[in-house]
Structure 1
Amino acid sequence: MNFTFEPAMAVTQHCVRHRFRYATCKTCAGECPAQVFSPIEGGMHIDASTCIQCGNCLFVCPAEAISGLSPATRHYCGDTLVGPFSGQPPTVNELLLWHREYEIRFVALSPEQNELWLLAIARLNLVLKAYGEATWGIKPPDVVPINLARRSLFHVPREHVHTATVRPGIRRVRQYFADQSEAALSIDASRCVMCSACWRACPEKALRFDAGAFILDAAACTGCGGCTAVCLHQAIKLEKRRGLSAIKRLSARERTCRSCHRAFWALEPDAEHCYLCKHHAHGMRS
């Protein structure tokens, strides 16, 4: 007899809290209705015994670090999601993927029995409206006739109804809505010392240095906060909010330090001393 076992639920080493000591991300904990996740120093504790298998955490984790879970299976007919519906409504990101991949535009549900789903659709429509996309509508559910004279009473087939899942990931959302962003990046040029820690830490290349310019690409940012966790000078500000994406290019100049005569990069055009000499008690270093 062969036994197969599903992989255990886990938070992998891709989690930003595993990678960076001072990371503060707790997106999965904030989304989970069953309080499965608890932030701890250096990671995230999981109580898998309380998990209700909704899979919502898969669609909000900025590092796509959660394993051992599968997204919920949904039912659809044409451009409409139909029942049966899960007790826990989907996240906006999951619905955005249904919007793009399956061109869903309606939900057939009974409002008095699916209040949480109505709230989820309302949140989705706010985002779609901001994105300039067609919003979703609500349809009354179809009444399926049942033949009481046959055993089909126990299984009523529904023609043209299909089941599917969407592959989770904020990166996929970013690809489908490349002109939008879920995070706003900014930098304080007076604090930044061009140490390169932030763009080395960013797995999405939302921060990068190229051809003498410090580039902040909000469309690629998933909001993990790794950049702010490694910035010792608190020069980077990350705000999680949806809106039009923008690419900021900050010109950097290669300068020669007046004290140690070594080359360094600076965002401030009038910088005369490298970071070490600037903060040295005597304005110099060996």
Structure 2
Amino acid sequence: MAIPQIDAELCVLSRFDVSTCSACVEACPSKALTTGEDGLELDAAACSGCGGCGAACPSGAVTLDGAECPEPLSRPGAEGWLACSRHAQGKGGDALCLQALGLAALTRLWLQGLRRITCLTGDCAACPDGAGLSVHRHVAALNALLASRKLPGLLLERAGEPPRRTTRIGPGTATDAGRRRLFGLSALPMGAASAPPLARLQSLSCGPDTLYVNVPLIDPGRCTGCDACISLCPTASLSRVKSGDGEMQYVVDPATCNDCGLCCDLCGENAIRLGHLSAAPQPVALVGFRCRGCGVNVHVPALGPYAAHGICPVCDRTGHHKRLFQVLE
């Protein structure tokens, strides 16, 4: 049985004190993972090695001997099958729990050419590892992304026997560049082939109605232009750039957002939230000025409350810009 290994350099909960990420904890059906003062804590005796934590981790910080990145065990075709360890034909080193099929794992399998996955499992509802099983929700989300890009979907079904002449799916390793070329993934945009699976898929766009699984949304009415979310976003999904006419703006790249939630945790103004399965937002126009209270150069959303008054958010909050008068009698 594989025991989760946690890379603190990748885990946003370990890297940032402000982070409230608990994706792996919430995904664990056996409650073997908890959060404490020192970050994640694992009760190895309670862990079943199902792979749910690795599938849920937004940053790839949790690994389980390849269970978190299942792949075809031979040259992939359009169909594949897997079997869990509690199924008669699933015993052995190639067993794979459905908990390991997170959205990133399913996307990876789709990118490798699979269009139908047959599952040989026991009764998941009666299985301790089947609690809160979300694979069907992940399949639905993946198919929504694919449909908005006019790409064929993925079918997940159950059966008692593996289909003939299909590849078995089991725990794998990260796919290297050579295998990506072998499987035809080099047709993706330059740089996309080395990106995480969801980013690879979401780099393909079919216009303004294209859907993205995680979409950071900035509220101009609350944003103070502090740039904290941009500075610390682990995937550079948020940026401040100049438009074609030289104006500053906040731009969101939802293709790379991994749903870690750090931007929301950082923002003290609650000016950012994460949307799901929605289109990319329009850039947020910014205006720069010299604060007439403290003299600092700032930039804020053009449609926000600070731009019209020429007062930076700090002076607006503290009242430093107000002149003091003493009345003498």
TM normalised by structure 1 equals 0.76
Q: Is the 8 A contact 2:81 2:168 kept in 1?
A: no
Task: Kindly indicate whether residue 226 of structure 2 is the aligned counterpart of residue 195 of structure 1.
Answer: yes
Task: Kindly indicate whether residue 41 of structure 2 is the aligned counterpart of residue 45 of structure 1.
Answer: yes
Q: Is the 8 A contact 1:184 1:218 kept in 2?
A: yes
Task: Kindly indicate whether residue 231 of structure 2 is the aligned counterpart of residue 217 of structure 1.
Answer: no
For 1:68 and 1:138, how far apart are their aligned partners in 2?
25
Task: Kindly indicate whether residue 311 of structure 2 is the aligned counterpart of residue 273 of structure 1.
Answer: yes
Q: Which is worse superposed, 201-210 or 52-61? A: 52-61
For 1:74 and 1:58, how far apart are their aligned partners in 2?
14
Q: Is the 8 A contact 1:189 1:235 kept in 2?
A: yes
Cα 1:70–1:129 change in 2 (3 A) is closer
**Residue of 10, 16, 26 corresponding to 2:12:** 16
**Equivalent pairs, count:** 262
Q: Deviations over 1:24-76 (max 9, x none)?
A: 11100111122221022351111223222222322221122124642166667
Q: RMSD between aligned alpha carbons?
A: 3.4
**Residue of 125, 136, 153 corresponding to 1:134:** 153
Task: Kindly indicate whether residue 227 of structure 2 is the aligned counterpart of residue 208 of structure 1.
Answer: no
Cα 1:51–1:251 change in 2 (3 A) is same
Q: Deviations over 1:91-145 (max 9, x none)?
A: 34222321221323141648xx45569x76643442244231324164755589x
Cα 1:42–1:84 change in 2 (3 A) is closer
For 1:134 and 1:92, how far apart are their aligned partners in 2?
16
For 1:74 and 1:171, how far apart are their aligned partners in 2?
14
2:112 corresponds to which letter in structure 1?
Answer: E
Q: Deviations over 1:205-261 (max 9, x none)?
A: 11111111111222221111111222222222224x3x2441431111111212233
Q: Is the 8 A contact 2:81 2:169 kept in 1?
A: no
Q: Is the 8 A contact 1:215 1:250 kept in 2?
A: yes
Q: Is the 8 A contact 1:27 1:61 kept in 2?
A: yes
Cα 1:284–1:41 change in 2 (3 A) is farther
Question: Any idea what SS the aligned residue of 2:255 has?
Answer: helix
User: Counterparts in 2 of 1:44-83, with a 5 A limit?
Assistant: 44-67=40-63, 69-71=65-67, 78-83=77-82
User: Counterparts in 2 of 1:1-286, with a 5 A limit?
Assistant: 9-67=5-63, 69-71=65-67, 78-87=77-86, 88-89=97-98, 90-93=100-103, 94-107=105-118, 109=120, 113-115=122-124, 122-131=136-145, 132=147, 133-136=152-155, 138=157, 140-142=159-161, 161-162=167-168, 164-167=170-173, 171-178=196-203, 179=205, 180-211=211-242, 212-239=248-275, 241=276, 243-267=277-301, 268=304, 269-283=307-321
2:233 corresponds to which letter in structure 1?
Answer: C
For 2:216 and 2:240, how far apart are their aligned partners in 1?
15
Question: Any idea what SS the aligned residue of 2:106 has?
Answer: helix
Cα 1:250–1:283 change in 2 (3 A) is same
Report % sequence identity: 22
For 2:293 and 2:162, how far apart are their aligned partners in 1?
82
Shift of 1:278: 1.7
